[in-house]
Amino acid sequence: MVLAELGGSIARALSRMSNATVVDEKVLADCLNEICRALLQADVRFETVRDVKANIKRVVNLDALAAGTNKRRIIQQAVVDEIRRMLDPGKPSFTPSKGKPNLVMFVGLQGSGKTTTCTKYADYHRRKGFNPALVCADTFRAGAFDQLKQNATKAKIPFYGSYTESDPVKIAVEGVDMFRKEKCDLIIVDTSGRHKQEAALFEEMRQVSEATKPDLVIFVMDGSIGQAAFDQAQAFKQSASVGAVIVTKMDGHAKGGGALSAVAATKSPVIFIGTGEHILDFEVFEVNPFVSRLLGMGDLSGLVNKIHEVIMPNNQPPNIIGPQLVEGTFTLRLLYEMFQTLQSMGPLGQVVSMIPGFSAQFIEKGNEKEGQAKIKRYMTMMDSMTDAELDGTNPKLMNQSRINRIARGSGRLVEEVVHMLEEYKRIAKMWKKLPLPTNNRRLNTNRD
């Protein structure tokens, strides 16, 4: 089960529980079973799933809850907290700081995405104001230096390597010395991989590490390896004093849930995830926003960061959230303005999942073209609305005759207008639940 499906399954289980007339032991048990099934299908280890279930049951003791307590909210919170705990090793990692030379060494098996990730990591930090450089100390794989050179040249990052020298330690030391003299403040050493964990690989890692004394060793792991992730992460951690992990290939059909939870179980912080082959397919990994996005709750802070980092690095970010939202009213006009901003920002895939309500249901990853077309259609329909309709918050205003008029005016079908309004209501409902100052009252209402 790919990650988006895992998030969808958990969200559906929670919503079924939420919609039950009465929340009793059976409803809770059904909800938990559904969540556990989804986690197992996403390759999360059985032991972890068992613990998740036991912990939620411990927190949610229906018999002990006082009458009038909002059971639905307590269950929802317990599930979200447990998913977060499952992915959180509770340990921050070293982060490079400006103004001092930082040395980072990359380790991992061949094919895990190590070389690609070195360049992504360098490029990410350059956008943050660092002056990075890459050293290719992979003398094991033929073509490794060419690959790093190609990636580095494309990304305009200085690099060092050799076609003739076969001693990785020598290359690493020379490269690091050279870039230190050139005042590079983030030197990244790419080491050799192997097809499998073996003594020779660990010995080479140890020697390069001893000779260069990195501030941080990053272990790169393929996110699609599922159940094997725990053993692999643990083996590298024990052999190479790994300080952080980057999980790659979290796009496509990766059952990333297994890899992420397995890595967390080894108490190694995941710092980034790779989400594609392109240099920008690289995301900071932070548990809370990740879980929010996984469960379709959006990630506003991530959205604003992404706009800063990738899309408009030199300009002010566009005001996608808008002043109206802070006042707690999500109107059709606000949705229209969001669409306008999205259209001006380029690739949709990078940001849509961070906007509450826009995740997989609205625009599927990999189907951004259809997403763009959908936004255009919706905007055409909205162009045929009156100011009162766009600014109104009274759903009854949108009666059949108005819907017919909008359909006629925009040249779209009545069903399409109805569908657009339903999508708007769904998104607006989600935004109303966000913990914005004026929404807090609604969050505290009891339903049981």
Residues that bind ligand GDP (CB under 6 A): 108, 110-116, 147, 193, 248-249, 251-252, 274-277, 281
d(CA 44, CA 47): 9
Residue 144 Cβ vs ligand GDP, minimum distance, rounded to whole Å: 7
Q: How far is the CB of 219 from ligand GDP (least distance, A)?
A: 11
DSSP letter for 438, please. Answer: G
**Smallest separation (angstroms) from ligand GDP to the CB of 303:** 21
Least separation in angstroms between residue 337's CB and ligand GDP is 33
Nearer to ligand GDP, 248 or 292 (CB): 248
Check the CA dihedral 322-324-330-334 and report its sign: negative
Closest chain position to ligand GDP (CB): 274
Which CB sits closer to ligand GDP, 50 or 154? 154
Closer CB to ligand GDP, 114 or 237, in the complex: 114
Q: Show the tokens assigned to 180.
A: 């230190």
CA 237 – CA 217 distance, rounded (Å): 9
CA 340 and chain centroid, separation: 24
Residue 431 CB, nearest approach to ligand GDP (Å) = 31
220: nearest Cα among 189, 184, 198: 189
DSSP secondary structure code for residue 309 in this structure? I
> CB-wise, 209 or 275, nearer to ligand GDP?
275
Query: How far, in Å, CA of 122 to CA of 113, rounded?
Result: 14
With respect to ligand GDP, which residue has the nearer C-beta, 366 or 395? 366
Nearer to ligand GDP, 102 or 116 (CB): 116
Q: Cα separation of 146 and 165, whole Å?
A: 14
- Tell me the CA distances in angstroms from 434 to 3, 37, 174, 245, 292, one per residue in order: 23, 28, 52, 31, 11
* 3-state DSSP helix/strand/coil % of the chain, to nearest 5: 55, 10, 35
Nearer to ligand GDP, 277 or 422 (CB): 277
Contact 416, 39 (CB under 8 A): no
**Nearer residue to ligand GDP within complex by CB, 115 or 131:** 115
What are the start-end ranges of the E strands in 213-358?
216-222, 244-248, 270-274, 282-284
User: In angstroms, what is the minimal distance from the CB of 426 to ligand GDP?
Assistant: 30
Q: State how beta strands 216-222 and 102-108 pair.
A: parallel
* Smallest distance from ligand GDP to CB 49, Å: 25
Q: Which residues are registered as beta bridge partners of 102?
A: 186
Minimum distance from residue 252 beta carbon to ligand GDP (Å): 6
